[in-house]
Chain A
Amino acid sequence: MTALASAKDTGTVEQTTSASPKRVIDIDNLSLTFETNDGPVHALADIDLKIDEGDFVSFIGPSGCGKTTLLRVIADLERPTAGSITVNGVSPEEARLNRAYGYVFQAAALYPWRTIAKNVALPLEIMGLPKAEQQDRIARNMDLVNLSGFEKKFPWQLSGGMQQRASIARALAVEPDLLLMDEPFGALDEIVRDHLNEQLLQLWAKTNKTVVFVTHSIPEAVFLSSKIVVLCPRPGRIYDVIDSDLPRERNLDIRETPEFLKIAHRVRDGLRAGHSYED
């Protein structure tokens, strides 16, 4: 199994070295082991991954495969136990202190005592930006996620989809190099989710941000991504990396095309093969 995985990895390295854009994330032979009462748990093992500027990368895999953990390592919320990782050529911690990250969690995690505008302002206050600049960024990013007019509302007065859009605006307001999204639409219903997926793609086209997106939905991963990373559990490792040849401009109808289904099929095969049924 590991032999197979590493064979795939060397393939990826060849592909990405030929690309010209700036390298944003460079992960080399990274492992992370948690010490628990029941012995060590290998959350991540021998991860090699390169992500370039402007990529939309999805991590997909069954639960327990370490996709969220990998995202957290990138964001300096977890520290690897072996191997190396650089973000913008520096350590994740330095990147975090440089405010390179906009992180969107599974839940909106908005503060109920702040209005939507004040929630978007939260990271800006922490960064110590001048008031005028804050106002400007709030207005711009609220508009970007189509929430203009809801500035004075409190989070609990909005629907789940609107809350999640507000949390994306909050992440974008930082003007991060990297947008990290951990199953941001996992708790929403399918219709809202489709809608937000389309909006997210438009947003990506407008801002040209590098996005790392964790999901367990195959259609979502294929629809959004320019690169799909398939992970498998025990230990958490990369099974397959798929570069999508779909056009950057997409709408929901693309999900019916043969090209889309081909990629979706390859992802599904990867998930199936990587899933060990012995236990």
Chain B
Amino acid sequence: MSIQTAAKRRIDMPALLAWFVVLMVIVGLFSPIFGPDYGVMDVPSLAVCLVILAIAGVRYELGFMRNLIGDLILGLVAATSAWLLVSTVSQHVGEAKLGFWALVVATWAASWLFVERLALWKSRSQSLARIVNLAIPAIFGITLLVLWQLVVTGAGVPKVLLPAPSEIWLRLINSVPTLWADFQQTFLKAVLAGYIIGCGSAFLIAILVDRVPFLRRGLLPIGNLVSALPIIGVAPIMVMWFGFDWPSKAAVVIIMTFFPMLVNTVAGLAASDAMQRDLMRTYASNYWQTLFKLRLPMAMPFIFNALKINSTLALIGAIVAEFFGTPIVGMGFRISTEVGRMNVDMVWAEIAVAALAGSLFYGAVALIERAVTFWHPSIRG
């Protein structure tokens, strides 16, 4: 692969970005920042911002300090200018003009340049490589948030349409009790109960199905078909049958998680190859010994694949099921009512909680997977 990247006539991305930064700084210098007659020099902090960005761009172009320290300084410069932009624009909401946008783009390009340089770092030690691998997506995420903040405040996007991250954060820390109650109702009750029952029962049925070849041939095509169906549509029926409270949501989660788990477990149980089964046969191993010592360990990568898919499906199922009727608590309930009241920042706060819960849930399953299937080529790397 390294040969490929060294291929001829490759565009020199860092140089391009550095030139772009310089160009944007020049644009920023000669056009109004806020309102019709607000130049760079009228906003001292932005002038500073402009200077350091220009230094960053020129520094790279002149080949000055193209090393680790230089790269770190570049990152620092990008962060500082982002901070200056965020703090100045909060005093001039919705007044951004061409010069401001040029500076925003320049900052963005500078942080891209930083990431580009970061990716080129030769990993001297394992821990450094790991930090870089974590830092790159983190910087990407932060950049996205900063851009969101700058664009929303700079252009004065109405709060109803898209609130700024800072507003969402404020709303989030101001309504922790409500969010916690919703989280309890939806995640701790409906999602977890449904997930455990759904995955557990599918696992047991998969072992039964595997034991009976007739069932395997009959159920597997149906299971595959059902996996492709919009199962979420059973939500209104479940609400009708099991009432408004969390059991009906758990039922939806059970149905949604059941089939991926069934199909994957059955496929996993068939994953052991003929040689390994022959080996167990020469030991005169019985069905259960073969199951526990060979086939279940072999099926683990498949089972965890289903567990990971299901961790996101479960949350989606529970939240959407709440659109069809809930008591006055729950993440889905909050989202649908606050949308109705146009309290979009509360909706986003709820989404942030859901995203965090979903990511942590997924991450937890992935961690257990690493521990259980440490031997699998995809994990041991």
Contacts and interface: CB of A to CB of B under 8 A. Distances in A.
Contact of A77 (B281, B285, B376): B281
16 contacts: A72-B278, A75-B278, A77-B282, A96-B281, A99-B283, A103-B278, A103-B282, A105-B279, A106-B275, A107-B275, A109-B275, A109-B276, A113-B373, A122-B283, A156-B377, A174-B283
Contact of B297 (A99, A111, A123): A111
B278 to A, nearest CB: 5
Given A96-B284, A127-B283, A112 B275 contact: no
B281 A123 contact: no
A242 to B, nearest CB: 28
Chain B binding surface SS class: helix
Nearest to B373: A113
B371 to A, nearest CB: 11
Interface of A: 72, 75-77, 96-99, 101-103, 105-107, 109, 111-113, 122-123, 125-127, 154, 156, 174, 180
Contacts of A98: 284
B289 A126 contact: yes
Given A105-B279, A109-B275, A109-B276, A126 B293 contact: yes
B231 to A, nearest CB: 33
Interface in B292-313: 293-294, 297
B279 A103 contact: yes
A106 B375 CA distance: 21
B10 interface: no
Interface of B: 275-276, 278-285, 289, 293-294, 297, 373-377, 380
Contacts of B373: 113
B297 A113 contact: yes
Nearest to A101: B282
Nearest to B278: A77
Contacts of B293: 111, 122, 125-126
A105 B281 CA distance: 13
B375 A126 contact: no
A98 B283 CA distance: 9
Contacts of B280: 126
B283 A126 contact: yes
B354 to A, nearest CB: 35
Given A99-B283, A99-B284, A125-B293, A105 B375 contact: no
Contacts of B297: 111, 113
A248 B190 CA distance: 72
A105 B283 contact: no
Contacts of A101: 282
Contacts of B281: 76-77, 96
Contacts of A107: 275
A85 to B, nearest CB: 16
